[in-house]
Amino acid sequence: MARRTSSSRRRGSRGETVLLSRTVLCTVTGASERQLAVWEHEDLISPAQVAEIDGRREPLYDRGALERIRLIRTLAEELEVNLPGIGVILHLLDRLGE
């Protein structure tokens, strides 16, 4: 069985990106896998890429997803914004970043 951790690539002087498995991402952010599934279903977050590991498709997430989850949790838990409202806020932030 393959390890389900971040890839060996790190963002640094070589400009490479760290990718995290779903399990590691949930552990780091404190989000549950169920919350992550709901947020993906609502198009609030998406994996950076999907890898084939031991015959299974494994979503891998980048630093942007990590930061986005932290923002989603802040909006939901501290500011009590509902999912549709979070979607609007994230959409506006995405447009500002373009």
Domain CATH number, residue 58 = 1.10.1660.10
* β partners of residue 92: none
Q: Is residue 27 part of a domain?
A: yes
SS3 50: strand
How far, CA to CA in Å, does 71 sit from each of 39, 62, 64, 66? 12, 15, 11, 9
Q: How many domains is the chain partitioned into structurally?
A: 1
Lowest mean pLDDT among 11-20, 30-39, 58-67: 11-20
Q: Is residue 1 part of a domain?
A: no
Domain range for 67: 20-97
Average pLDDT of the chain to the nearest whole number? 87
Q: pLDDT at residue 34 above 60?
A: yes
Q: Is residue 15 part of a domain?
A: no
Under DSSP, the state recorded for 14 is T
- Predicted model pTM: 0.79
pLDDT given at position 7: 41
Q: pLDDT tens digits, residue range 55-76?
A: 999 999 999 999 999 999 999 9
Q: Rounded CA gap, 97 and 78, in Å? A: 24
